[in-house]
């Protein structure tokens, strides 16, 4: 029928048009029937995708059986990408296997027919991935002709072994995503009556909801085929309708939502669960079913608070993982069905519908448990309408695009229950099992039923079977407890059951935690040794020495002078003396008078010393004329040059000073009685609770803080550790450390408290490792206390000086002050048999009186990289707690808290800070306290504590605990007009820690040179607190929520130096430049680079000297401090140490024939040992 306008056309013309149209249509039909086109598809055939004719032509050539071209979903594209990135050796985590166990006789022809019918019904099962070169994100639907039933033949054995071999063989047949098929059915006849079907597929085709539907349809189709009856299944859900629905969703709204939701994320969520004790390969499973009573109680909890079961389970799962990983925020991958209720019969759809989306949860929220769960449920409801956006797209909105956002997956498998009997045609369906392609470190699948069933899948390389079982059991216990904690603060919801909690609290406590504190004072302890060993040498310094009687007499004289000056119990007396016997006399005199000593290191900056004197309100200052004059002058100069940098706003009124070298003071001391001090002579009775000393440590606000330690703290430290060490009068101790470092407390009173000899190490020998090793030998030192950094340098020097005929006399080397890397002890044990001496790791902090734990190190420690610090001293407790002050389970990281007899009084004049760090102990008697260390640790399976590092910005450098905030405050204060932003962090380089400052100049201001920055800091900070490297940046990197992103701060390099690079010329200069670069971890060093500006410090200076001496350059640490560049140092080294030109020419020619470094390739040792052995041979006379 052709309608037309009668005014424009006549009837005859329209009839002619109709006949022509009919004729052309007939010719077109004839042509198509007799001459089929070579290309049968055009872009119009595939309206759901944007594809060119050229791409279609190539797809048809690649896939002659092509039926359709569709768009891959976001998840399918992600799975395809991850599979394509696997190496040929890697197991594909998305290779899914489903096993069906049948009883009866199977009809192979009917099974093949049923399998073909199933594939023809669902285009989603015939999908392959088009090559990216043709079109990214395209899928091709192929015909079912390639999908043949596989008949397996497995060598005989029991059914379990046959199935294992079947699965192994199938896994080796990797799916080719571009060619397919991506699903296959294998039949194994284990016995005439035992049939096993294995359906294996790539996860890109099916989700967990679809798999049961596939088996249900296959069973129905098999019955129809075996009975030759019509197919009774309803029409299949069309997968393309789901794709069309996805294409219509509002991507802009979803993008906006996910950008906002993920903007709160500070970092990609990483689980920090206990390491696997027995690491394995692949994935393991642990199952749990809640009993009906617990399930009913949980269901009642959900109804009472308007919560779904899925929300509560997800919340409990996230809470458990977050607590165990010490996270304040966590991201869980939440799997959604992806089946829109707007699509009819979507619940019967077969394909990959699911969406896995990142759910951000804040675990530190100040809400009750119920409030938190309700907010979680509300967030999930909002997410539901944006879940189609896709994980890959959501992740691209974060700064973590190249890193997985989460490591934990949650699946609430509320799939529709299978319909009908458990039959497969005439066969009985016995069971269904298999592997579902778990690939996240931890995945929880919840299967709702009468008894709520949960399956935890875990990566065996990170979690072993025992730990997996423990995790799922812990989750079950938490779920049973939740109904009792509806209104409990989220932070306070307990993770542990009472028996486990009690066991952990008990394990943390030392054996004598509740014993009474000692009543002795330090003068009492020393007095006992004077009576026992009056003539024994107490103190040695170079050629000077004092016996116990002499030391006692001189200390008594000085104590009487101090008492006359008003010094009594709890009165602070500052001491600033050079290392000498007089320094020990003064310390002893102060405590004899009843006072407490405040050690001042003369090397500290004037501003810091002034602050310590002002803050402590020291009653008296013990010093010398020269030291006093230098101190006053340096304070006045610093105040005149930069008054804003001073920590004390008003000029200090110096306390009365005792100038020990002044003639009048020497006369006054000589006039005093040297008899023992009686209690009646003191201004008040001295008790063990009175202060013995005050030591200042770094403060985060820029102000150091003074920790006060009582006499009883030091006494119990010595008595409680005596069963381990058995110190006595035969021991020789070295006083290596500054008296301003609390390690010196152990060195001084450990020697004097047991009648031993204390060898004061001169400053120049402390800085020269070769000389120090010689001192250890000459003085026959038996007890050595070292920071690990210093001992590492000593190991290298000891190896050079090692002489079995002149061994060291050491019986104990005690490490403290910083974390120990036990692997660095291997060279020591290669020369010194284990136990000669004993190497002991003792964790401790100033606020807990030097030491807290004790551990004897063994060769086994050197094989691992964990720093175990052992067990607590018997009268201490070492609790590892979470943020709610609850014990964390074994192996879980928490913050270390110390309770017991060793705690300091607090911080002098800092009541608020003392209350923040010294808190009430929930585990002890009323009134008991514990100290928050800020250190992270976990308790190993053997009960020992493994030390991990700092929980905050506080670090330890060369044994000193430093608040980086104090350094940042000093930089910003000293360069207020020039610097806009500053960040200081400790970087581990070569197994060590060094301070690095990142600085940003104010707009329009020039960045000060490194030398200027360093010099300014040295006015207010000690050398060990001055960063070794400064990195200039345009801005500091921030996390999405505005916090400093420390992980994005770049590594410093020699390029940070402001000096012009000048290449070395002579052999000596080349050697020194190479050594500078080696010990400071820089890639290149020039002739004029300053050793300390490029990252050097006193420890690395010792290492430099040790390396240089090994290469024939005679130099000392003093030379490095005096000549701080390779050029200056090269000029200063002694003549004759550099090879002359003739010798150089000979050796160059001689060694030019060498093709490679000579390495012996002898048979390997059958019984490897430690150290060196010998074998002798004597030729008989005739052979000789």
pLDDT tens digits along 93-152: 899 999 999 999 999 999 999 999 999 999 999 999 999 888 888 999 998 776 889 998
Determine phi and psi for 162, rounding to 5 degrees. Answer: -65, -40
Are 195 and 262 part of one and the same domain? no
Which pLDDT score, from 0 to 100, does residue 449 have? 76
Six token digits for residue 400: 């973590």
Rounded Cα distance, 735 and 761, in Å: 6
Q: Which residue has the tokens 């080696």?
A: 1078
Q: Which of 908, 916, 931, 787 is nearest to 847 (CA)?
A: 931
Residue 1033's CB is within 10 A of a number of other CB atoms, namely 15
493 vs 884: CA distance, rounded Å: 9
**Residue 752 is assigned to a structural domain of this protein:** no
pLDDT at 959: 57
Classify residue 182: in a domain, yes or no.
yes
Place of tokens 């000392």: 1116
Which of 172, 201, 236 is the C-terminal boundary of a domain? 236
- Residue 127 is assigned to a structural domain of this protein: yes
Cα–Cα distance between 10 and 951 in angstroms, integer? 95
Give the Cα separation of 152 and 155 in Å (integer).
10
Percent share of the chain, pLDDT over 70: 91
Backbone conformation region of residue 450, classed left if phi is above 0, alpha if psi is from -120 to 50, else beta: alpha
How many alpha carbons lie under 13 Å from residue 699 in its C-beta half-sphere? 18
What pLDDT score does 678 carry?
A: 96
pLDDT score, position 429: 78
The pLDDT tens digits for 185-215 are 999 988 888 899 999 999 999 998 898 899 9
The reported pLDDT for the residue numbered 1139 is: 44
Whether residue 360 is found in the same domain as residue 486: yes
The total of other beta-carbon atoms located within 10 Å of residue 998's CB is 23
* Sign of the Cα pseudo-torsion (1112, 1115, 1120, 1123, in order): negative
Burial 928-965 (b: 16+ CB within 10 A, else e): bbbbbbbbbbbbbeeebbbbbbbbebbbbbbbbbbbbb
The whole-number pLDDT of residue 1041 equals 46
Give residue 436's pLDDT: 65
Q: Are residues 217 and 315 in the same domain?
A: no
Span 806-852, pLDDT tens digits: 999 999 999 998 888 888 898 899 999 888 899 999 999 999 999 99
Q: Are residues 1001 and 1137 in the same domain?
A: no
- Summarize pLDDT for 573-613 with one digit per residue, the tens: 999 999 999 999 999 999 999 999 999 999 898 989 999 99
The SS3 call for residue 863 is coil
State residue 953's pLDDT score.
64
DSSP structural state of residue 146: G
Given 236, 267, 287, which residue is the final one in a domain?
236
pLDDT of residue 777: 96
* Neighbouring C-beta atoms of residue 272, cutoff 10 Å: 16
pLDDT in tens, 726-776: 999 999 999 999 999 999 999 999 999 999 999 999 999 998 999 999 999
- What pLDDT does residue 513 have? 80
What is the number of domains present in the chain?
4
Give the domain range for residue 485.
243-416+439-495
- Express each pLDDT in 428-457 by its tens digit: 877 777 666 667 899 999 988 777 899 999
Burial of 153 (0-12, 13-18, 19+ CB in 10 A): exposed
Tell me what pLDDT residue 399 has: 74
What pLDDT, on the 0 to 100 scale, is given for residue 1046? Answer: 77
Strands (E), 690-770: 691-697, 705-710, 732-735, 757-760
Specify the higher pLDDT residue, 1173 or 1: 1
Which pLDDT score, from 0 to 100, does residue 301 have?
96
How confident is the model over 219-231, as pLDDT tens digits? 999 999 999 999 9
Average confidence score pLDDT of the chain: 88
Domain assignment present for residue 611? The answer is no
| 624 has pLDDT over 60 | yes
- Per-residue pLDDT reduced to its tens digit, 331-377: 999 998 888 888 999 999 999 999 889 999 999 878 999 999 999 99
CA-derived radius of gyration, the chain: 39
Structure tokens at 659: 């100038």
Judge contact between 355 and 209, C-beta under 8 A: no
| Residues whose CB is less than 8 angstroms from the CB of residue 1103 and which lie 6 or more positions away in sequence, other chains included | 792, 793, 796, 1079
- Verify that 998 and 1076 share a domain, yes or no: no
- For residue 254, is it within any domain? yes
Q: What is the CATH number of the domain that holds 1105?
A: 1.10.1200.10
pLDDT higher than threshold 90 for residue 887: yes
With CA atoms as reference, report the closest residue to 1022 among 702, 602, 604, 631: 604
Q: Is the peptide bond before 181 cis (omega within 30 degrees of 0)?
A: yes
CATH number of the domain to which 1017 belongs? 3.30.300.30
Angle, in degrees to the nearest 10, between helices 108-121 and 210-227 = 130
- Please check whether residues 127 and 252 belong to one and the same domain: no
pLDDT in tens, 936-995: 999 988 889 999 877 776 676 765 668 787 888 889 888 888 988 888 988 874 346 788
Instruction: Band the pLDDT of 567: cuts 50, 70, 90.
Output: very high
Q: What would the pLDDT profile of 227-247 be if each residue is shown by its tens digit?
A: 999 999 999 999 999 999 999
Same domain for 218 and 252? Answer: no
Q: Exposed (0-12), middle (13-18) or buried (19+): which is 980, by Cβ within 10 Å?
A: middle
Within this chain, do residues 999 and 1073 fall inside the same structural domain, yes or no?
no
Q: Which residues contact 412 (CB under 8 A, 6 or more apart)?
A: 309, 310, 313, 314, 335, 446, 448
φ/ψ of residue 1018, rounded to 5: -65, -15
pTM, full prediction: 0.77
Neighbours of 219 (CB within 10 A): 21
pLDDT above 90 for 405 = no
| pLDDT score, position 1163 | 65
pLDDT at 133: 83
**Helix (H) or strand (E) segment spanning residue 962:** strand 960-963
Are residues 636 and 612 in contact, defined by beta-carbon separation less than 8 angstroms? no
Q: What is the pLDDT of residues 522-549, one digit of tens each?
A: 999 999 999 999 999 999 999 999 999 9
Among 162-166, 408-412, 651-655, 1054-1058, the range scoring the smallest mean pLDDT is: 1054-1058
CATH number, position 100: 3.30.559.10
Look at residue 143 and tell me if it is in a domain: yes
Residues 210 and 294 in one domain: no
Contact 1075, 1101 (CB under 8 A): no
For residue 905, whether the previous peptide bond is cis, meaning omega lies within 30 degrees of 0, is no
Q: Are residue 1104 and residue 1000 in the same domain, yes or no?
A: no
Strand-pair partners of 454: 288, 446
Average pLDDT over residues 1024-1052: 78
Q: Mean pLDDT over residues 605-623, rounded?
A: 95
720 domain residue, yes or no: no
Pair 376, 470 in one domain: yes
Q: Are 1101 and 1117 in contact (CB under 8 A)?
A: yes
Helices 369-384 and 251-262, interaxial angle, to 10°?
150
Residue 1042 has pLDDT above 70, yes or no: no
CATH code of the domain covering residue 482:
3.30.559.30
Model pLDDT, residue 1159: 53
With respect to residue 466, please indicate whether it lies within any of the assigned structural domains.
yes
Q: Are residues 111 and 140 in the same domain?
A: yes
Q: What is the side-by-side order of every strand in the sheet holding 423-424?
A: 150-151, 183-191, 194-202, 95-103, 427-435, 423-424
- The whole-number pLDDT of residue 1081 equals 82
pLDDT digits (tens, 9 = 90+) for 1130-1167: 887 754 344 444 445 555 556 655 655 455 556 656 66
pLDDT tens digits, residue range 978-1023?
988 888 988 874 346 788 999 999 888 899 988 889 888 888 887 7
What is the pLDDT, as a whole number, of residue 1039? 52
């Amino acid at each position: 029928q052709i309608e037309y306008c009668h005014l424009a056309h006549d009837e005859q013309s329209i009839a002619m048009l109709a006949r022509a149209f009919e004729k052309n249509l007939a010719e077109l039909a004839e042509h198509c029937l007799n001459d089929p086109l070579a290309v049968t598809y055009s872009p119009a055939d595939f309206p759901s995708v944007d594809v060119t004719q050229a791409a279609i032509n190539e797809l048809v050539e690649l896939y002659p059986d092509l039926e359709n071209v569709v768009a891959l979903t976001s998840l399918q594209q992600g799975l395809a990408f991850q599979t394509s990135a696997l190496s040929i050796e890697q197991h594909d985590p998305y290779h899914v296997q489903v096993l069906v166990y049948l009883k009866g006789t199977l009809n192979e022809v009917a099974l093949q027919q049923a399998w073909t019918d199933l594939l023809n019904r669902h285009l989603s099962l015939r999908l392959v991935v088009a090559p990216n070169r043709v079109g990214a994100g395209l899928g091709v639907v192929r015909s079912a002709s390639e999908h043949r039933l596989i008949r397996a033949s497995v060598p005989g054995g029991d059914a379990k072994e046959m199935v294992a071999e079947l699965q192994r063989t199938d896994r080796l047949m990797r799916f080719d995503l571009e060619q397919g098929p991506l699903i296959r059915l294998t039949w194994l006849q284990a016995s005439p009556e035992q049939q096993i079907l294995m359906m294996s597929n790539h996860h890109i085709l099916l989700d967990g909801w679809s798999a049961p539907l596939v088996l249900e349809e296959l069973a129905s189709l098999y019955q129809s085929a075996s009975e030759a009856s019509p197919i009774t299944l309803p029409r299949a859900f069309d997968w393309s309708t789901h794709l069309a629905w996805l294409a219509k969703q509002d991507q802009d709204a979803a993008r906006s939502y996910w950008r906002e939701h993920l903007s709160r994320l500070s970092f990609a969520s990483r689980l920090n669960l206990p390491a696997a004790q027995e690491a394995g390969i692949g994935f393991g499973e642990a199952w749990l079913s809640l009993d009906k009573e617990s399930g009913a109680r949980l269901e009642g909890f959900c109804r009472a608070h308007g919560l779904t079961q899925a929300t509560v389970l997800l919340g409990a799962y996230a809470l458990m993982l977050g607590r165990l990983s010490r996270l304040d925020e966590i991201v869980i991958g939440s799997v959604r069905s992806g089946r829109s209720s707007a699509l009819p019969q979507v619940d019967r759809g077969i394909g990959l519908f699911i969406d896995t989306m990142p759910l951000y949860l804040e675990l530190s929220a100040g809400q009750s448990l119920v409030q938190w769960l309700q907010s979680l449920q509300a967030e999930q409801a909002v997410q539901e309408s944006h879940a189609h956006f896709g994980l890959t797209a959501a992740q691209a909105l974060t700064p973590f695009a190249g890193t997985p956002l989460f490591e934990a997956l949650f699946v609430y498998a509320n799939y529709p229950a299978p319909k009908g009997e458990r039959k497969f045609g005439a066969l009985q369906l016995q069971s269904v099992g298999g592997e579902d392609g778990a690939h996240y470190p931890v995945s929880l699948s919840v299967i709702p039923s009468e008894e709520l069933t949960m399956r935890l899948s875990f990566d065996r390389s990170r979690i072993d079977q025992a730990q997996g079982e423990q995790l799922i059991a812990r989750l079950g216990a938490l779920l049973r407890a939740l109904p009792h904690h509806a209104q409990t603060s989220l932070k306070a919801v307990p993770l542990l059951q009472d028996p486990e909690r009690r066991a952990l609290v008990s394990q943390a406590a030392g054996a004598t935690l509740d014993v009474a504190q000692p009543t002795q004072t330090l003068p009492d302890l020393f007095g006992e040794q004077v009576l026992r060993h009056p003539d024994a040498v107490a103190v040695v310094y170079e050629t000077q020495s004092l016996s116990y009687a002499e030391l006692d007499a001189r200390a008594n004289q000085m104590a009487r002078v101090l008492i006359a000056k008003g010094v009594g119990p709890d009165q602070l007396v500052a001491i600033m003396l050079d290392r000498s016997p007089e320094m020990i006399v003064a310390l002893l005199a102060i405590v004899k008078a009843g006072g407490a000593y405040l050690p001042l290191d003369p090397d500290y900056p004037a501003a810091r010393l002034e602050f310590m004197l002002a803050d402590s309100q020291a009653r008296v200052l013990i010093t010398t004329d020269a030291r006093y004059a230098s101190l006053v002058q340096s304070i006045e100069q610093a105040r005149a040059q930069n008054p804003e940098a001073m920590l004390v706003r008003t000029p200090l009124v110096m306390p009365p000073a005792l100038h020990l070298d002044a003639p009048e003071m020497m006369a006054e001391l000589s006039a005093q009685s040297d008899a023992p001090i009686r209690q009646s002579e003191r201004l008040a009775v001295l008790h063990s609770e009175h202060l013995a000393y005050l030591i200042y440590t770094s403060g985060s606000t820029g102000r150091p803080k003074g920790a006060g330690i009582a006499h009883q703290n030091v006494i119990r430290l010595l008595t409680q550790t005596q069963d381990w060490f058995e110190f006595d009068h035969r021991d020789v101790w070295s006083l290596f450390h500054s008296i301003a470092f609390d390690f010196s407390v152990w060195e001084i009173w450990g020697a004097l408290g047991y009648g031993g000899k204390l060898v004061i190490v001169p400053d120049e020998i402390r800085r020269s490792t070769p000389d120090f090793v010689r001192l250890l030998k000459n003085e026959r030192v038996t007890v050595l206390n070292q920071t690990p950094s210093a001992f590492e340098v000593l190991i290298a020097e000891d190896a050079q000086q090692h002489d079995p005929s002149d061994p060291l006399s050491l019986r104990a080397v005690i490490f403290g002050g910083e974390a120990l890397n036990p692997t660095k002890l291997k060279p020591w044990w290669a020369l010194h048999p284990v136990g000669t001496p004993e190497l002991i790791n003792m964790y401790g902090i100033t606020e807990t009186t030097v030491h807290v734990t004790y551990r004897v190190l063994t060769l086994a420690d050197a094989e691992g990289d964990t720093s175990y610090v052992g067990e607590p001293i018997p009268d201490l407790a070492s609790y590892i707690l979470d943020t709610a002050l609850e014990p964390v389970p074994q192996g879980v990281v928490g913050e270390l808290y110390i309770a017991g007899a060793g705690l300091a009084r607090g911080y002098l004049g800092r009541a608020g800070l003392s209350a923040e760090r010294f808190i009430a102990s929930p585990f002890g008697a009323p009134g008991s306290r514990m100290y928050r260390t800020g250190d992270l640790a976990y308790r190993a399976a053997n009960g020992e504590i493994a030390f991990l590092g700092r929980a905050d910005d506080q670090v330890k450098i060369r044994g000193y605990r430093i608040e980086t905030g104090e350094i940042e405050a000093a930089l910003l204060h000293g360069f207020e007009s020039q610097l806009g932003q500053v960040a200081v962090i400790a970087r581990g380089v070569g197994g060590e820690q060094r301070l690095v400052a990142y600085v940003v100049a104010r707009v329009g201001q020039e960045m000060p040179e490194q030398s200027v920055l360093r010099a300014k800091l040295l006015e207010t900070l000690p050398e060990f607190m001055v960063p070794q490297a400064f990195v200039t940046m345009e801005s500091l990197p921030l996390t999405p929520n505005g916090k400093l992103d420390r992980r994005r701060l770049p590594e410093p390099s020699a390029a940070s130096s402001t000096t012009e690079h000048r290449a070395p010329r002579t052999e000596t200069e080349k050697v020194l430049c190479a050594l500078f670069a080696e010990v400071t971890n820089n890639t290149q060093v020039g002739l004029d680079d300053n050793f300390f500006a490029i990252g050097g410090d006193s420890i690395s200076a010792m290492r430099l000297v040790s390396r240089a001496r090994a290469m024939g350059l005679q130099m000392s640490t003093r030379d490095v401090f005096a000549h701080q560049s390779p050029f200056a140092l090269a000029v200063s080294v002694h003549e004759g140490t550099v090879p002359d030109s003739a010798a150089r020419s000979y050796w160059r020619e001689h060694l030019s024939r060498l093709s490679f470094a000579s390495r012996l390739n002898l048979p390997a040792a059958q019984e490897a040992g430690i150290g060196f052995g010998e074998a002798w041979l004597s030729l008989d006379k005739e052979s000789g």
